[in-house]
Amino acid sequence: MKKNKNIKVLLVDDEVAFVNTLAQRLRMRKLLVDTVYDGEQALSYIKQVEPDVIVLDLKMPGLHGIEVLREIKKIKREIQVIILTGHGTDKDEEEARKLGGFDFLRKPADIDLLLAKIKEAFSDKLARFMTAIAFAQEGDLDEATKIIKKEQ
Partner 1 sequence: MPIRNEIQADIRKSYYMEYEELIASQLSFIGKVLSVFSHDINNHLAVLKESAGLIGDLIEFGKTSSRKDLKEILKITQSIKNQIEQTAYFCDKLNGFGHGMEKPLSAFNIHECIEELMVLLSRFINQKMICLEKDFTANMPLIYSNPLKIQFLMFCIIEKHLKRLDKNSRIIIKTVYANDSIGITIIPKGNLIETDEKLICNDEIYKHIINQLGVNISHKTSEETTIILPVSLSSSSNRR
Chain contacts with partner 1 (rule: CB under 8 A): 15, 17-18, 21-22, 24-25, 28, 59-62, 86-87, 107-108, 111
C-beta of 70 vs 107, nearer to partner 1: 107
**Closest distance to partner 1 from the beta carbon of 140 (Å):** 45
**Closest distance to partner 1 from the beta carbon of 61 (Å):** 5
**Closest distance to partner 1 from the beta carbon of 47 (Å):** 21
Q: Between the CA of residue 71 and those of 30, 39, 50, 78, 100, what are the distances in Å?
A: 28, 10, 14, 12, 11
What spatial distance separates the first Cα and last Cα of the chain, rounded to whole Å? 34
C-beta of 95 vs 132, nearer to partner 1: 95
C-beta of 5 vs 108, nearer to partner 1: 108
Whether residue 121 contacts residue 82, with contact meaning beta carbons closer than 8 Å, is answered with yes
**Closest distance to partner 1 from the beta carbon of 123 (Å):** 24
Q: In this structure, what is the dihedral angle of CA atoms 65, 71, 76, 78, given to the nearest 10 degrees? A: 50
C-beta of 82 vs 132, nearer to partner 1: 82
Q: How many angstroms separate the CA atoms of 65 and 84, rounded? A: 10
Q: How many angstroms separate the CA atoms of 31 and 7, rounded? A: 6
